[in-house]
A and B are shown apart, each in its own frame.
Chain A
Amino acid sequence: MQKSLNIDPDKCTGCRQCEMACSFEKEGVFNPSRSRIQVFEFHHEGRFVPYTCTQCSEAWCMKACPVDAIRTDGGLGAKLVNDDLCVGCKVCTIACPFGTINYVPDTGKVAKCDLCDGAPKCVEACPTDAITFIDAAATGMDRMRKWAATNNPASAQNA
């Protein structure tokens, strides 16, 4: 069964260890702004929400890419950016309706969550189990993925 990130905002304390781990793993720096998972704050609710790509099957980023630089990893189902092919045109960054693929000026390429080859560093770093890597069914990410499948804004299946 495919695994996916499961995010439980109730358990997030806003410590940003996930952002530090991600930016260090992927960019070699401890810099939350370079992280591919981002924690958003809702002051009124006292709530923190870690947020990243769901690896949705609609894969707007992949379909919009004009140079074949985003592909699916067969085993993980992750959508991976191939840095050798990416030209940095940024079409994927506006095509993804989740806002989870972003341009990195330092590299001239886009970056997104790739599930760290099946061992996500954000999960290892999270001290409260707010982020876990579990079977895909019925996770919050799965709900987001279903949202992606049923809310494809450009088209609607006729009955």
Chain B
Amino acid sequence: MHHVIIGAGAAAVSAAETLRQHSKTDKITMISAEGANPYSRMAIPYLLTNKIDEAGTHLRQRPNYYDSLNIEVIKDVAVSLDCANQSVMLENGGALSYDRCLLATGSVPLKPKIEGINNSRVHNCWTLEDARSVAQYAQADMPVVLMGAGFIGSIILEALALRGVELTVVEHQDRMVPRMMGEKAGGLLKGWCEYKGVRILTSTDIVRVEQRSETRLNIHLSTGDVLDAGLLIAAAGVKPNTAFLQGDQIVVDHGVLVDEFMLTSYENVFAAGDVAQALDFSSGKREVQAIQPTAVEHGHIAAMNMLRASSVRHRGSLVMNVLDTLGLLSCSIGIWQGVEGGDMVERFDPDRYRYLCLQFDGEKLVGATVVGHRDHQGALRGLIEGRYLLGAFKEVLMKDPNKIMEAYLAVAQTDATLVR
């Protein structure tokens, strides 16, 4: 059996490893479009701050790792998929036929529709290639404008600030990371960044980019203000990379729709990671999550079902994000907004940049937001994903949400802890 994996990110590598773990003989081919060894976009901010070199971004860092597992990594671009003939067309190397195909092509940055945006001093910060360009322009004291303070923007924000650029962040929404946390928590992040010397303009749009001189741009804002910039970085969101799918063979909504076995609408074609619109743990609906832990889960489950049809069912992945904005840690998990008719407890300590919010649906924890605390955040996942009935510990948490670890041990680890 020949498994062809289109993509070389977290979902692709997770799938390839799972395939090899369970089959010593099947042929496994990964198609890497960027000419690089499989690497992690998540590591790019650390590359920008010189914490690591490019090799440090690689998803697997053992020498000859893929060779040793007999996983072939082809550096080429999949330009189209012929489902009827079970074949992937490559840009440079003809066609690859498959028995099972995994679409793990990730996502691509959204291109904002702004006058003058096509300029050599406007860059995304998504690929290694982007990172090289950003590193070239984002030198100390250079005025840099970052468009977007979502999750990805906020990760880049830290890297840029640490490079010593003169940074201004422009965000369309009324707060930072609006899809990751609410007003109070998002407000804390903004206040903290400003305290650290980064200018954050929320509820503001970039309306026009103008070349002011050979090395400088004028960034025109919706407020009428104009910013001087040597570099504009666009982090206005990403979308599933489905452009290579032509015709109507594979059903695409926001992303490639997959069933509980990660199978697309066409036989023998699976999808995983950012490109897949798959079951969300909390809503029970199919959603594009585009986060690292979900990509790894998708890749594993897809591979199991590529090996043996309908063998492992996806129960849905939980949305979770963790962020470090210039030393202020935050995370949100699950339905952090809460559910209708559910209970909520929060602790807000703006002077110390701390926030803690737990959301309940009946006796179960369904979501959480944490700012300024760092320990045992994983237990929030354990509690939410285990769908544990909290019993008496719901009252304990309503009185003191800091008791999350005690609640977790009492309801989720009863066997080991003997707490009743």
| Interface, chain A (partner B; CB < 8 A) | 7, 9-10, 38, 40-42, 45, 47, 49, 51, 60, 63-64, 66-68, 85, 87-103, 105, 108, 140-141, 143-144, 147, 151, 153-158
Contact = CB atoms under 8 A, between A and B. Distances in A.
Give the residue among A87, A88, A94, A147 with the most B Cβ atoms within 10 A. Answer: A94
Contacts of A63: 14, 296, 300
Contacts of B247: none
Contact of B60 (A51, A60, A68, A97): A68
Contacts, number: 169
Given A42-B406, A96-B378, A102-B375, 7 more contacts: A40-B409, A42-B419, A87-B52, A94-B293, A94-B333, A94-B380, A95-B381
A99 B42 contact: no
A144 to B, nearest CB: 5
Q: Which of A68, A93, A108, A153 has the most CB of B within 10 A?
A: A153
A101 to B, nearest CB: 7
30 contacts: A9-B417, A40-B405, A42-B410, A51-B409, A51-B417, A64-B293, A66-B42, A66-B292, A67-B43, A68-B60, A87-B52, A88-B46, A88-B51, A89-B42, A90-B324, A90-B329, A93-B322, A94-B293, A97-B381, A97-B385, A100-B376, A100-B378, A103-B374, A140-B415, A143-B415, A144-B415, A153-B385, A154-B301, A157-B312, A158-B310
Contacts of A40: 405-406, 409
Q: Which of under 10, 10 to 19, 20 to 34, or 35 or more describes the interface residues of B?
A: 35 or more
Contacts of A42: 406, 410, 419
Interface in B379-420: 379-382, 385-386, 405-406, 408-410, 413, 415-420
Interface string B292-316: 1100110011001000001111111
Contact of A9 (B56, B281, B380, B419): B419
* Majority-rule SS of A interface residues: mixed
Interface of B: 10, 14, 40, 42-43, 46, 51-52, 56-62, 281, 292-293, 296-297, 300-301, 304, 310-318, 320-322, 324, 327, 329, 331, 333, 374-382, 385-386, 405-406, 408-410, 413, 415-420
